[in-house]
Structure 1
Amino acid sequence: MCTLPCTYGFRTAHQRGKAPCCFDCIPCPDGEIANVTNMEYCWSCPEDKWSNLNKDKCIERNIDFLSYGSMLGDTLCSIASIFLVTTAAVLFVFVKFRRSPIVRANDRNLSFILLMSIMLSFLCAFLFIGYPVELTCMLRRAAFGFIFTVAVSAVLGKTVTVIIAFNATKPNSTFRKWIGTRISIGLVLLFSFGELFICIAWLICSPPFVDTDTKTIPGTIIIQCNEGSFAAFYVVISYIGLLALFSFILAFIVRKLPASFNDAQYITFSMVVFCSVWISFIPIYLSSKGKYVVAVEIFTILVSTGGLLLCIFAPKCYIILAKPELNSKKHLLKPRL
């Protein structure tokens, strides 16, 4: 007795040792269809299409990217917006009270540079959301790398300022000649231009571009930004990591200075948060797929930058707004046990 014809979505597989009309009906694999009865082979769908559930028709693939309007995209936008408004408020407070002792201590110019770079870092998060295009792919990588370097360089400059300010109080100290100089600003410019050079070389030699991935998630086209050069991407990240590590080491060494120089304690803690977040980022980034890769990048930027904002500026804002009696030169210079 012959086998009934194989319907759509199945191909024939002849049964050995039996009549030619005896065969098994094998379901077509994902991405292939059979829209004629008794097909010997399934047809592969075009690259931009996928088989439907019945495996008898090729349909458009789902397009996957982190979009505005999605729950994940809107959540990250909301978090970035809250941090952005908070940073603007802190900057307003520091500008308004720029002549107060607690703002002037530890180089207020560096504080303004750090706050501006933190604001720009939060703005960078919006470049990662939406349909990727060539311009945003290049901007998100270069802007992220350069702005983060400015922020970390400013933290490093603050640490150097703490060291100079404390050691200059010692008798016959050679550090006194550095008081009033722009060495900290010079460090920020030096390290920032170093990262800028790397980013420009990256954009010229092997710039990021829009790429599609049809292999990672079946039935889905992932629209994503390809780094162009993974080596350049990791050089940018490593550069920032080395600056953060160096800043942490310096701040850790001088963390037990007198209370009037206690910015080192806040810097140490902020660098612990910063480095911990970015160390955790690498394995999570490599194991994520689709739009979640971008979401991990944004979340890492927000958490690490938010750590800098809260650890370094929250204590000062608390004193300025809630404990104004502590915002005095007499209190800052008062010896404490």
Structure 2
Amino acid sequence: MDRGGHRSADGGHAVQGMKRHTIGVAGLTAALLLAPAHSAFAGGPVDKGTTDTKKDTGLNNDTLYAAVSYDTSKNGSGSSVGHVSATGTSWTPPACWLAPRWTAKQFAKETESEYKDVTTDPNQPNYAKNATSQFRDVYKDGEYKNYNLDQQDDGMWWGAVENPNAPVLERTACNSTLPFWVENGETPKVKNAISPEILAGLAYEQIKVPGTEVTLAPSGTTKVNLATWAWLDKGDFKPVSVTASITAPGLNLQATTVAKPVSLKLQPGTEDAETYPASGECAINDDDSIGEPYETGKAGETPPCGIKYLRSSAGGTYKLQATVTWEITWTGTGGTSGDLPDGTFGNDQDVRVQEAQAVNR
């Protein structure tokens, strides 16, 4: 394999973030010692690294390149916002990916530091020292030469990055790929390499939408067998978006994930109730409102969105759950685009129902 090629084997280990941590040793496989778990990183939305590769002499304020940054300026806001949950699918945001993480000088400095720390520590077991030495040999005097320091301005070392929000066993799935060299401007043809689609999934995870407390008429307390109108005013719900991006020499990728409200689901909180429409799904109107406000004189009409309770709440309340479904799509670098699973987010609100057959409205 040449110095600019790719190599993957068990043992590379990294997670997203910005602060440097001690490299640990991954262990053994049946055939050979694994490499050390190289520089673990973890964290949520962070700013991109700012290292200048032409002036870089190693780690610059412990800042590396692998972090994904998020623009949440067009996200939902307010005290009742929350993250959407994917529905009707096993899809989850990306648990890990491969991305540019070190300049040649950064990688050399970190590997040499780890090698020294482990091999000179009398408390380290021999297998750890051997694994660390084998890892160093690959990049210093083996398949690569001297960490590609002579190509400092021409490429970067890529490595595994973990999503700290993913389950542990899932986010370590990329750790079998050891760090590999990629020329600036090239896109490595390896599984899990960072892409607009991966960024779109990460942006999905950062989406926040407003709460869904609906307006009811009658409000607060309603009557048995009386149609209760429900609605959300236009402007309360509108599309929101988050843009995720990653930038390094020769690499500039981004994706914008958009969530658009499409329907409101009403769940009365009791089986002794009917919904309007019967499915409980109230569609978004052309003006982005949901349902229709009650007006005097409509008491005998069927609401386009609402509930009729068939039994009183016996002095207590029912928990009306109002959940909005959000259609989620994305667009990214290079004209890429796609759909992501619909997301839902909702709130509960108390509804008191009294015994009565009718009420003057």
Q: Which structure: larger Rg?
A: 1
- Asked if Structure 1 and Structure 2 have the same fold, meaning a TM-score greater than 0.5 normalized by the shorter chain, the answer is no
TM class, shorter-length? under 0.3
Q: Say which structure is richer in strand.
A: 2
Give the TM-score, by structure 1 length.
Answer: 0.22
Q: Which has the higher contact order (CA 8 A, sep 6+)?
A: 2
